[in-house]
Amino acid sequence: MKKKRILMLNYEFPPLGGGASPVSYELSKGYVKLGHKVDVVTMGFKGLPSYEKKDGINIYRVKCLRTKKEICHPWEQLTYLISAKKFLKKHLKNNSYDICHCHFIIPTGILALWVKKNFKIPYIVTSHGSDVLGYNTKRIFKYIYPLVKSPWKKIISEAKYVITPSNFLKNKIKEITKKGKFLVIPNGIDSNKFRPMKKQNKILVVARLFENKGVQDILDALKELDLKGWQVDIVGEGPYRKFLENESKQNGLSKIVKFHGWVDNKSKKMKKLYGQAKIFISASWFENMSVVLLEAVASGCNVIASNVGGNPEVIKKENLFEVSNVKELRIKINLYMRDKKIKTTRLDEKFDWNKIIKKYLEVLG
């Protein structure tokens, strides 16, 4: 295959952001490993260099307004579009690319469409969920969605391909527009990175701490269980943390639940938290293709997850519960707490990064 020059656009790139951030990093690293050139244009943040080369990836960070690593508000995303466009006007005069790989239809797709029109560089776009109209039920998005519907459709129709990590998300997009070429390529995981360790009586939750992640439902499910000899680890940061800490106290769980805050996904601590946990819980109200779910499965956890989005495409039906159904969740947690055996789900080979990167390269053409 001819070596390609790839322009990667994503306002979320490590160490910033959530699930889409490591996905774009792993893809970039995989492209480079196979001999392709990758330049990433992403958001700047305090303490991060404006340029660095990591794992062979050229990372350019443009000046933006962003206050937190774990969250980026729509008005902060707008500053990325303005700064990245200004940067690319100069950069693309001296640098040429065969293809642009854009992450998120909105906002980043606006930039990819502009690059195509002005510099004749075709693009593919990977959708991650929050960029799909109607996906996020938070009130602010209900006001934003009508404003971006027209450009959103244009970005999809002009893309060489729109990639979704789950059939659920592809169908969600096609409910609104069918004018585009769609492919499903799942998010991946390095199976050597997360492995089972000697299991302990630990329950693990890994999520950005927003209301829609349903961590409060988990705390409510735990409060009526006999947790003697158990520990609950909650990893993640976000605006809902104080509420959840108060919820934990009110539910009498202060001595059982430990809030770790943000933990580097590559750290020994994170691998240990996954590896030692007997039970992993995801209670999201809506979900696309959860990377943390894949990490938990690879780590040999008994996984319990809400029956939403792409979750049924990863784990078995018996491990799912109806979203926000605290009683059903409590029953499933209690079942796994009492069962001394670890009934792990084997991770399907389709989630292996090497296979996924090869599929993406076929799409890049």
Question: What pLDDT digit, counting tens, does each position of 172-212 carry?
Answer: 999 999 899 999 999 888 777 888 899 999 999 999 898 98
Least confident of 202-206, 293-297, 347-351: 347-351
The pLDDT value recorded for residue 142 is 61
200-338 matches 5-189+352-364 in CATH topology:
yes
Question: What pLDDT digit, counting tens, does each position of 13-27 carry?
Answer: 999 987 789 899 999
Sketch the domain layout of the chain as residue ranges. 5-189+352-364, 200-338
The pLDDT value recorded for residue 286 is 83
How far is it, in rounded angstroms, from Cα 262 to Cα 16?
A: 11
Q: Which CATH architecture has domain 5-189+352-364?
A: 3-Layer(aba) Sandwich (3.40)
Question: What pLDDT digit, counting tens, does each position of 238-272 carry?
Answer: 889 999 999 999 999 999 999 999 888 888 999 99
The pLDDT value recorded for residue 141 is 55
The pLDDT value recorded for residue 147 is 76
Q: Is the pLDDT of residue 325 over 80?
A: yes
- More confident position, 348 or 166: 166
Calculate the average pLDDT of the chain. 90
The pLDDT value recorded for residue 345 is 59
The pLDDT value recorded for residue 19 is 75
Q: Is the pLDDT of residue 102 over 90?
A: yes
- Structure confidence at residue 357 as a pLDDT band (50, 70, 90): very high
CATH number of 200-338: 3.40.50.2000
The pLDDT value recorded for residue 106 is 92
Q: Is the pLDDT of residue 80 over 90?
A: yes
Three-state SS annotation for the chain: CCCCEEEEECCCCCCCCCCHHHHHHHHHHHHHHCCCEEEEEEECCCCCCCEEEECCEEEEEECCCCCCCCCCCHHHHHHHHHHHHHHHHHHHHHCCCCEEEEECCCCHHHHHHHHHHHHCCCEEEECCCCCCCCCCCCHHHHHHHHHHHHHHHHHHHHCCEEEECCHHHHHHHHCCCCCCCEEECCCCECCCCCCCCCCEEEEEEECCCCHHHCHHHHHHHHCCCCCCCCEEEEECCCCCHHHHHHHHHHCCCCCCEEEEECCCCCCHHHHHHHHHEEEEEECCCCCCCCHHHHHHHHCCCEEEEECCCCHHHCCCHHHEECCCCHHHHHHHHHHHHHCCCCCCCCCCHHHEHHHHHHHHHHHHC
Q: Is the pLDDT of residue 47 over 60?
A: yes
* Beta-carbon-side half-sphere exposure of residue 39 (alpha carbons within 13 Å): 19
Q: What is the mean pLDDT of residues 97-102?
A: 97
Predicted structure pTM score:
0.80
How far is it, in rounded angstroms, from Cα 16 to Cα 10?
A: 10
Q: Is the pLDDT of residue 64 over 60?
A: yes
The pLDDT value recorded for residue 129 is 83
Q: At what angle do helices 74-94 and 108-119 cross, to 10 degrees?
A: 20
Q: What is the mean pLDDT of residues 201-228?
A: 94
Give the whole-number percent of the chain exceeding pLDDT 70: 95
